[in-house]
Structure 1
Amino acid sequence: MKLYAAHLHAIAEALQNIFREGAYADREIARVLKADKRRGSNDRAFIAEHTYAIVRYYRLYAHLAGVEPQSKADWWRLIGIHLLLNDYQLPDWREFQGLDREELQSALEAARQDRALRESIPDWLDALGASELGEEWEATIAALNEQAPVVLRVNRLKADAVTVIESLGREGIVVEPLADDALLVTERKNLFRTKAFRQGLFEVQDYSSQQAAPALEVEPGQLVVDACAGAGGKSLHLAALMENKGRLLSLDIHGWKLEELKRRARRNGVANLETRPITSTKVIKRLTAKADRVLLDVPCSGLGVLRRNPDAKWKLSPESVDRVVEEQRQILADYSRMVKPGGKLVYATCSILPRENGEQLAAFLSSPAGEGWELEEERSLLPQRDGYDGFFISRLSRTR
């Protein structure tokens, strides 16, 4: 593919803002893509794909460049290294002077002997992963550096899998059934411009994430609380499983996320959902022992979804992981009180760390807050073994 200076300039600008200004990669890439309306779908795909790839292997490329990028010229050098190592022929531009494919390949082979360099992660994260996951860590972090598959969830309130497959097929998008209501997209295209999406026939949701709502074993007519709803992908799934019957309360500390959820709910045809921002502890206390089911998809390190958010590994720190573990402990102790005797709770994270998952549950069950609770099921999903995002899902029942 021919390389265009405008494309590479856009990538360099995005990288500068992600690493030097602290911008989130997905938002920054979206901003850059919107900046020039003349770009076609292929141009946009090229910029997004290569920006994400360089973010993913930032440490490795910076090592090969021999410099921590600061200037515009430094970012162009990183782009050149990435392109050369991915078999592109570089133009004879001054920004790429001095880059040699054979020298880079030799340096790459030497760097690959160091796992933290090879997988392009901070040393502290490599040590933490090895400590927490043992022999599983090497395969796990390698899988988390692969490009994530795109999976859809059929919205059963409006369609079935056959309807969605046929509708997308008419727009040239091929999807394959996975299981239940999950469909695998075989070719990356802009799904959000399709008629099927505008009609609310599907949501984009990773297959691992799709396991959380069914694990709650909801039934139509129940009072169900999604207590850390965010923008509500799992709330929408719960509404479909409830067949729009009963009461679904979606809570979150961020009101703007709940506004996004309400917009999505309208498109999905959800009629039993109520959003409620958590503005004080009173919101939770008023629901004490009233809910049939509670979903706690708690804040976490996000290490299970690095394929989708590769910049997260540069924003995390040992201290931030410690803070989120404490936050999970507090949420589990406080929010579990909403479940009435005989009810059930699902505790889920998009993390691969046992300290956020099984160990967090064990601590809860052995604490005063965990009295009267029993663990029914727990599953740890790993990308190299299960094929999709790293995820943890558990279900507990309240006996008294």
Structure 2
Amino acid sequence: MTPGARVAAAIEIIEEIERGLRPADDVVRQWGRSHRFAGSKDRRAISSQVYAVLRRRGYYARAVSAAPRALVLADLVLGEGKAPQEVAALFSGEGHAPLALNDDEHTLISTLSGLHRDGLPSYDVPEFLLPELTKAYGENLDEALAALDTPAPLDLRVNTLRTTRDDAAAALAAVGIEAAPTPHAATGLRVVGNPLIAGTIAYKEGHVEPMDEGSQLAAALVDARPGMQVADLCAGAGGKTLALAATMQNKGQIYATDSDARRLGNLAPRMKRADARNIHPMKWPQDGNFGELHGKCDRVLLDVPCSGSGAWRRHPELKWRIDDAALEQVTKTQDALLRTAAPLVKPGGRLVYITCSVLPVENERRIEAFLEANPDFSLVVSPNDPAPSGATGLRLQPHTHSTDGFFISRLERNTST
């Protein structure tokens, strides 16, 4: 592909992402599948430009507009430092290049070229979230948000039902993929670069699964043990569910469900590949009442829907898809799920609340409200935790643990209940 064709592809992909219907990585992958002529270098270059725009969308939109073509123009000048004549050459209108620049766009890139690239912010977030983010990070705000705006590494969870971490690393090395143990998660491997894992035998045979180290640690903190009765009420596609099955050595029962039945539909083939045999997918009851599980569960995992702010380094488009109304609605959903989950926990059992959010309104505030309404639950802490616990739970962060942002709160039901 010519450089101009790559730019045209980036604009096309950003247009699709801006419609807000699918995650950015899904759109990028689908574009690659439907444009087989694009080589690996082309796809990497296009993806890099798309994500550069998404990470600086707010800043670029203030400088130009929110139109995808204008955002890419801004990135070429402000992000890549290209001169006006270089940008004009990319927008030649010839072959598969974007249409030639009009007079207004020529004026725009000349104006942008007069700005200093050194002024590009180290992070870019919606302004309405800054008060909440400041509550979360205080004097560490700049460092924390810059880390959230930095591309994430590729982490894998080693499936101990199938193999060991050393053997999985050796299998990947045999096909030229370099991976080293993650700093904190006992089952994690961090891959060098961004190779295609899905095509490896290690993946096809269920030995490894892509999973951020923070997500692996969150699953480990559930402390699900062999023989336990576990309910995973927001199982989604089953990433943490499969991690629990491995921890439990296929002994005991995991009842996996999700209010979105479409997401749960991906679990069955993943179970087969992973050799996970103690997972029982179940439909979400129409009345939301899990009566048959009331008071019977040793562990209830609640990996709730959230803003996804902890995953901005992987999904920067999520920054621009949330507003006050959406945030208020998601916190109501989180409270409702906590009310649904609490009765399932048996005395001495634990409710584990997890978000991939860094916002206190989705984390500490939700647990404070829950504990006030449920005095028969108390916070669980351990000196072996990978991060210090506050009054309501612990945080994993890109700037402290090189993970996505996670909040984990373990709440134990008093045995006197």
TM-score normalised by the chain length of structure 1: 0.90
The corresponding residue for 2:377 is 373
Aligned equivalents of 2:286, 2:229: Cα separation in 1? 21
* Residue 259 of structure 1, CA deviation: 1.3
Q: Secondary structure at the match of 1:192?
A: coil
Closer/same/farther in 2, CA of residues 52 and 20 from structure 1, 3 Å limit: same
Aligned equivalents of 1:237, 1:21: Cα separation in 2? 30
Q: Secondary structure at the match of 1:231?
A: coil
Match of 2:154, as an amino acid?
A: V
1:179-258 counterparts in 2 under 5 A? 179-258=185-264
Asked whether the 8 Å contact 2:77–2:112 carries over to 1, the reply is no
**2:152 is the counterpart of 1:156:** no
Deviations along 1:27-83, one digit per CA (max 9) or x if unpaired, are: 22122111112222222222222211211111222334x33326x5x3552453366
Aligned equivalents of 1:335, 1:86: Cα separation in 2? 54
* Residue 3 of structure 1, CA deviation: 4.9
Asked whether the 8 Å contact 1:29–1:48 carries over to 2, the reply is yes
Aligned equivalents of 1:157, 1:87: Cα separation in 2? 55
Aligned equivalents of 2:311, 2:233: Cα separation in 1? 21
The corresponding residue for 1:80 is 76
The corresponding residue for 1:318 is 324
Aligned equivalents of 1:68, 1:229: Cα separation in 2? 35
Asked whether the 8 Å contact 1:351–1:390 carries over to 2, the reply is yes
Match of 1:68, as an amino acid?
A: A
The corresponding residue for 1:328 is 334
**2:135 is the counterpart of 1:138:** no
1:48-67 counterparts in 2 under 5 A? 48-64=47-63, 66-67=64-65
**2:284 is the counterpart of 1:285:** no
Q: Secondary structure at the match of 2:193?
A: coil
* Residue 90 of structure 1, CA deviation: 5.0
Asked whether the 8 Å contact 1:383–1:390 carries over to 2, the reply is yes
The corresponding residue for 1:15 is 14
| Residue of 59, 63, 66 corresponding to 1:68 | 66
Q: Secondary structure at the match of 2:293?
A: coil
**2:408 is the counterpart of 1:393:** yes
Aligned equivalents of 1:287, 1:239: Cα separation in 2? 19
The corresponding residue for 1:176 is 180
Aligned equivalents of 1:87, 1:347: Cα separation in 2? 50
Closer/same/farther in 2, CA of residues 53 and 111 from structure 1, 3 Å limit: closer
* Residue 208 of structure 1, CA deviation: 0.8
Asked whether the 8 Å contact 1:16–1:75 carries over to 2, the reply is no
**2:123 is the counterpart of 1:119:** yes
| Residue of 89, 93, 97 corresponding to 1:92 | 89
- CA-based RMSD: 2.4
Closer/same/farther in 2, CA of residues 132 and 7 from structure 1, 3 Å limit: same
* Residue 285 of structure 1, CA deviation: 2.5
Aligned equivalents of 1:33, 1:40: Cα separation in 2? 9
Q: Secondary structure at the match of 1:208?
A: helix
Closer/same/farther in 2, CA of residues 298 and 23 from structure 1, 3 Å limit: closer
Aligned equivalents of 1:86, 1:186: Cα separation in 2? 29
* Residue 252 of structure 1, CA deviation: 0.2
Give aligned pairs, total. Answer: 389
Aligned equivalents of 2:280, 2:143: Cα separation in 1? 42
Deviations along 1:99-137, one digit per CA (max 9) or x if unpaired, are: 76995373444564xxxxx52222212233224432232
Unaligned 5+ residue runs, structure 2? Answer: 93-99, 382-392
Deviations along 1:318-363, one digit per CA (max 9) or x if unpaired, are: 1111111121112112211111112112111111122221222121
Match of 2:367, as an amino acid?
A: L
Asked whether the 8 Å contact 2:74–2:109 carries over to 1, the reply is no
The corresponding residue for 1:36 is 35
Closer/same/farther in 2, CA of residues 25 and 87 from structure 1, 3 Å limit: farther
Q: Secondary structure at the match of 2:156?
A: strand
- Shifted more, 255-264 versus 275-284: the winner is 275-284
Asked whether the 8 Å contact 1:83–1:90 carries over to 2, the reply is no
Unaligned 5+ residue runs, structure 1? Answer: 113-117
* Residue 162 of structure 1, CA deviation: 1.1
- Shifted more, 121-130 versus 330-339: the winner is 121-130
**2:268 is the counterpart of 1:262:** yes
Asked whether the 8 Å contact 2:159–2:209 carries over to 1, the reply is yes
* Residue 245 of structure 1, CA deviation: 1.0
Q: Secondary structure at the match of 2:157?
A: strand
Closer/same/farther in 2, CA of residues 60 and 75 from structure 1, 3 Å limit: closer
Asked whether the 8 Å contact 1:212–1:346 carries over to 2, the reply is no
Match of 1:34, as an amino acid?
A: R
Give me the identity figure in percent: 32
Match of 2:397, as an amino acid?
A: L
Asked whether the 8 Å contact 1:209–1:391 carries over to 2, the reply is yes
